[in-house]
């Protein structure tokens, strides 16, 4: 059998599989096993011959869940003496300026395990106080008696001189536990962000390492790659050593998949809308995937490159309940895969999926090809726990209320990544995927004024497809803190070092020189500013900075000196990708498989039901209609029309 590639996206209610074989795309799903994610993976992979030549690319939520649920390792922090509380103090800026009740997230390292090392390296890398080895050994003895599972080392100016961190690493080796050095995890200035990122890496290291090593052992000789938050995949061994880089692994796969399909189909500016079982992820892409170095996860800063994704707790499994004031609230709590929505057979709390079933929008005949029954009769008895009869005229009114609330939550998320950042949603296409997205996309687009919704093929497994489409990617950076004018020699020297490292690491992963590409960037700011803009490293990068600053902030100051803060380079190794070809145009009108009443606009409306498998390029459907398929369902409301483009995407527009 020829070599083939499998994308596996875990998390949420289902574990999604996409297989590329013989140039064709196949998809299927398995119910997730949250306590042991690898069980669902192995169950799905059991469909293939054990000795088949295959490669698995994995999008994982193990790191994400461990961080959100605070289930990582017992971690110690070694830092420069006097800076033990950096991760507690943070920055003076307040996330919610007028909220006097706001609380800081609990630090990942307990008070007694944040330890100060006697040493001092200055900002320019010179050593003012050599490392006190005797004092360090006393600290290590304290760590040895505290059942510590992992150690983070983040000295004040290690980005300028990493010698002391390397010495500490050698002293820690006899403990036999993972050690994360800030000079390797994030060699950049800003001690708070660098320390936080290094601590997160150490906190997640043991758990992620065990998980990936166990999964690799069960896969035997099958190569395993893991999606990173930056949209590129790396070998499992490298991911185990740098788990902080996998925090939004699954959602990153969705953005990569959406971007590639959108580019192939001719939609340059998109807002990705990924509504799955537990959450909704949105991202704005204008000719490229946006990557940020200033992310926060559950209130904790993460300074490594991540796709700019905003997540809200709004998915098919989001639970509808009454708040203390009696108002309807949906999410962020989710029924997940176990017990799941009521209609799956074990759940007891009303979810968004149950609401769509009540309204007649989610049809059992299409759900996973009919392989998994939807138990409609279970919903009403369980829904009575909300005492809905006191506030709503009918169960349908309650279900519509839940849909309205979750739609509003998702609309706010899209506004955050578009309107609040200076982009007009009306200039973009809403690129909708995820198992639940198609049922909500038209309403979301209508509320935001987005003119077009595109639902690609295999929408419920697009994140898994994105894993296969992703190239290998590694990001490198160095802090320079020099004047941009006259920086050529120092900049060139730093780039040469980063390029040597990038080329060597990707060649070690098996890529030939002809398959490796690189791109260079610089972080610039006007002297005296606190934050930077990342600019592609071109010949006139200072002039480019002035122009970008003008566009971002509405002004520029070409007479002010510009400071070059960081230099960055990204190395990518090209991977084989499926081709997205055009389909021939079909004649005739599509025929519905049935017609049935569906609750739309607070009344039952006769609605045509279509099987997506029967739709071809050129077919047009006018709402109200429902288009069902294996992995998702698309609602075409009244006033919308749906056309099928040459790439078999469903394109919804107001008629």
- Is-contact 57 20, C-beta < 8 A? no
Please report which confidence band the pLDDT of residue 1 belongs to, taking 50, 70 and 90 as the band edges. very low
Span 252-296, pLDDT tens digits:
999 999 999 999 999 989 999 999 888 899 999 998 999 998 888
Per-residue pLDDT band at 633 (split at 50, 70, 90): very high
Highest mean pLDDT among 384-393, 548-557, 591-600: 591-600
Query: Residue 2 has what pLDDT?
Result: 47
- Dump pLDDT digits (tens) for 506-517: 998 889 999 999
Average pLDDT over residues 205-225: 92
- Return the H-helix or E-strand segment holding 403: helix 395-417
In the chain, the percentage of residues whose pLDDT exceeds 90 is 65
Residue 66 pLDDT grade (very low, low, confident, very high; cuts 50, 70, 90): confident
Q: Taking phi first (over 0 means left), then psi (-120 to 50 degrees means alpha), and beta for anything else, what does residue 463 get? A: alpha
Domains (ranges, CATH) in the chain? 4-67+221-238 (3.30.420.40), 68-208 (3.40.1360), 471-573 (3.30.1490), 594-654 (no CATH)
pLDDT for residue 655 is more than 60: yes
What are the helix and strand counts (H, E) for the chain?
Answer: 16, 34
Residue 183 pLDDT exceeds 50: yes
Residue (of 157, 155, 153, 156) closest to 170 by Cα position: 153
Tens digit of pLDDT for each residue in 359-382? 999 998 888 887 788 888 888 887
Of 623 and 309, the structure prediction assigns the larger pLDDT to 309
Pairing of strands 472-483, 516-526: unpaired
When pLDDT is averaged across residues 59-68 and rounded to a whole number, the result is 86
Task: List the one residue out of 632, 618, 622 whose CA is nearest residue 592.
Answer: 622
What is the DSSP code (8-state) at residue 289?
A: B
Q: Is 168 helix (H, G, I), strand (E, B) or coil?
A: helix
Per-residue model confidence as pLDDT tens digits over 394-425 = 888 889 999 999 999 999 999 999 998 888 99
Per residue in 157-166, pLDDT tens?
999 999 999 9
What's the pTM value of the predicted model, to 2 decimals? 0.90
pLDDT at 372: 80
Q: Which residues neighbour 404 within 8 Å (Cβ) at sequence distance 6 or greater?
A: none
pLDDT attached to residue 529: 92
pLDDT of the residue at 246: 93
Cβ contacts of 588 within 8 Å, gap of 6 or more: none
Q: Tell me what the pLDDT averaged over the chain comes to.
A: 90
């Amino acid at each position: 059998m020829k070599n083939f590639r499998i994308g596996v996206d875990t998390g949420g209610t289902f574990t999604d599989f996409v297989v590329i074989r013989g140039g064709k795309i196949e998809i299927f799903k398995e119910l997730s096993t949250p306590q042991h994610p690898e069980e669902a993976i192995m169950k799905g992979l059991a469909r293939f011959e054990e000795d088949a030549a295959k490669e698995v690319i994995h999008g994982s939520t193990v790191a994400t869940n461990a961080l959100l649920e605070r289930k990582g390792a017992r971690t110690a922090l070694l830092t420069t003496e006097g800076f033990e509380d950096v991760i507690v103090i943070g920055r003076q800026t307040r996330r919610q300026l007028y909220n006097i009740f706001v609380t800081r997230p609990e630090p990942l390292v307990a008070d007694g395990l944040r330890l100060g090392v006697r040493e001092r390296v200055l900002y320019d890398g010179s050593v003012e106080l050599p490392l006190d080895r005797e004092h360090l050994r006393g600290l290590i003895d304290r760590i040895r008696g505290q059942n510590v599972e992992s150690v983070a080392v983040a000295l004040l100016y290690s980005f300028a001189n990493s010698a002391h961190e390397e010495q500490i690493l050698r002293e820690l080796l006899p403990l036999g536990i993972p050690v994360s050095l800030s000079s390797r995890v994030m060699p950049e200035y800003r001690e708070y962000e660098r320390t936080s990122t290094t601590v997160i890496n150490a906190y997640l290291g043991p758990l992620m390492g065990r998980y990936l090593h166990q999964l690799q052992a069960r896969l035997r000789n099958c190569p395993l790659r893991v999606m990173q938050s930056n949209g590129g995949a790396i070998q499992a061994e490298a991911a185990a050593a740098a788990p902080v880089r996998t925090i939004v692994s699954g959602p990153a796969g969705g953005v990569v998949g959406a971007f590639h399909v959108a580019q192939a189909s001719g939609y340059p500016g998109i807002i990705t809308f990924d509504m799955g079982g537990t959450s909704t992820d949105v991202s704005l892409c204008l000719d490229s995937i946006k990557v940020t170095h200033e992310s926060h996860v559950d209130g904790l800063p993460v300074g490594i490159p991540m796709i700019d994704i905003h997540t809200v707790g709004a998915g098919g499994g989001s639970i509808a309940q009454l708040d203390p004031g009696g108002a309807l609230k949906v999410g962020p709590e989710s029924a997940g895969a176990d017990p799941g929505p009521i209609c799956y057979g074990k759940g007891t709390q009303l979810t968004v999926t149950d609401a769509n079933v009540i309204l007649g929008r989610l049809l059992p005949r299409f759900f996973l090809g009919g392989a998994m029954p939807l138990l409609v009769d279970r919903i009403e008895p369980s829904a009575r726990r909300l005492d809905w009869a006191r506030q709503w005229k009918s169960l349908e009114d309650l279900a519509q209320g839940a849909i309205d609330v979750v739609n509003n939550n998702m609309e706010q998320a899209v506004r955050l990544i578009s309107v609040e950042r200076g982009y007009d949603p009306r200039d973009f296409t809403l690129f909708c995927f995820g198992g639940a997205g198609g049922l909500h996309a038209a309403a979301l687009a209508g509320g935001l004024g987005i003119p077009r919704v595109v639902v690609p093929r295999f929408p419920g497994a697009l994140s898994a497809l994105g894993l296969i489409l992703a190239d290998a990617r590694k990001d490198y950076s160095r802090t320079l803190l020099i004047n941009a004018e006259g920086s050529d020699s120092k900049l060139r020297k730093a780039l040469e070092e980063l390029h040597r490292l990038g080329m060597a690491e990707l060649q070690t992963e098996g890529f030939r020189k002809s398959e490796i590409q690189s791109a260079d960037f610089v972080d610039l700011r006007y002297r005296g500013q606190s934050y930077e803009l990342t600019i592609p490293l071109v010949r006139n990068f200072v002039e480019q900075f002035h122009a970008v600053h003008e566009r971002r902030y509405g002004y520029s100051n070409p007479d002010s000196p510009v400071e070059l803060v960081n230099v960055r380079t990204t190395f990518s190794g090209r991977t084989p990708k499926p081709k997205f070809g055009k389909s021939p145009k079909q004649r005739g009108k599509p025929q519905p498989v049935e017609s049935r009443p569906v609750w739309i606009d607070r009344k039952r409306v006769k609605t045509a039901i279509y099987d997506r498998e029967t739709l071809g390029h050129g077919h047009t459907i006018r709402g109200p209609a429902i288009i069902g398929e294996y992995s998702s369902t698309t609602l075409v409301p009244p006033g919308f029309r749906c056309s099928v483009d040459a790439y078999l995407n469903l394109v919804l527009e107001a008629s």
